[in-house]
Structure 1
């Protein structure tokens, strides 16, 4: 009759499993801190001439739009273009920031493709 080995996990495998659970818990805590950091972050984007500035959180929540008085004389169509440009700039900066912070968080995992 074959000897029973429980789950087939030796002491070394149990330590590896425990280490993996600890690492997962640490990553979860770090992810929560990152989420809080992104929520409080203020990222500014602007149109090329700086007449419109858009502020977003790190989670890409729009927080504020600033329009300088000189922009009002540009007409509705041009003002709309400047606002769109500023929103795109803030979005691009926040996306890059979020990606960099996520890469820093997951970089030590050694996961393929991360």
Structure 2
């Protein structure tokens, strides 16, 4: 006769499952805290010449744009390119920050896609 162990789980599997739920709960709590932190961050991007600064929060939401008076004399096309460069710099810094913080939060977990 073979012995059956409830749903095919041994005691060790139940312990693993409980541990996985505990880790998932910790990640969920950490994600809420991280979301709040990202909303409060001020991440600054600049154009190469430093004439335009763009500030985003950690969720890539725009917070401010500062344009130097010197940039205004460049003309509309050049100013547009300068603003776009500052926006790109801020976006790249913001996404790198978010990615890094998510990696810290999920380190040690084997989650698909992260």
- Per the alignment, residue 8 of structure 2 pairs with 8
Per the normalisation by structure 1, the TM-score is 0.90
1:36-86 Cα shifts (integer Å, max 9, x gaps): 111111100010111100000100011111011111111111111110110
CA distance in 1, matches of 2:62, 2:112: 33
| SS of corresponding position for 2:96 | helix
| SS of corresponding position for 2:43 | strand
- Per the alignment, residue 59 of structure 1 pairs with 59
- Structure 1 gap segments, 5+ residues each: none
CA distance in 2, matches of 1:91, 1:4: 56
Runs of 4+ in 1 over 6 A off after TM superposition: none
1:86-109 Cα shifts (integer Å, max 9, x gaps): 000001111111111111112211
Once the two structures are overlaid, the 10-residue window that deviates more, 2-11 or 96-105, is 2-11
- Per the alignment, residue 83 of structure 1 pairs with 83
| SS of corresponding position for 2:108 | helix
- Per the alignment, residue 108 of structure 1 pairs with 108
- Per the alignment, residue 26 of structure 2 pairs with 26
| SS of corresponding position for 2:45 | strand
- Per the alignment, residue 94 of structure 1 pairs with 94
Once the two structures are overlaid, the 10-residue window that deviates more, 81-90 or 97-106, is 97-106
CA distance in 1, matches of 2:100, 2:3: 51
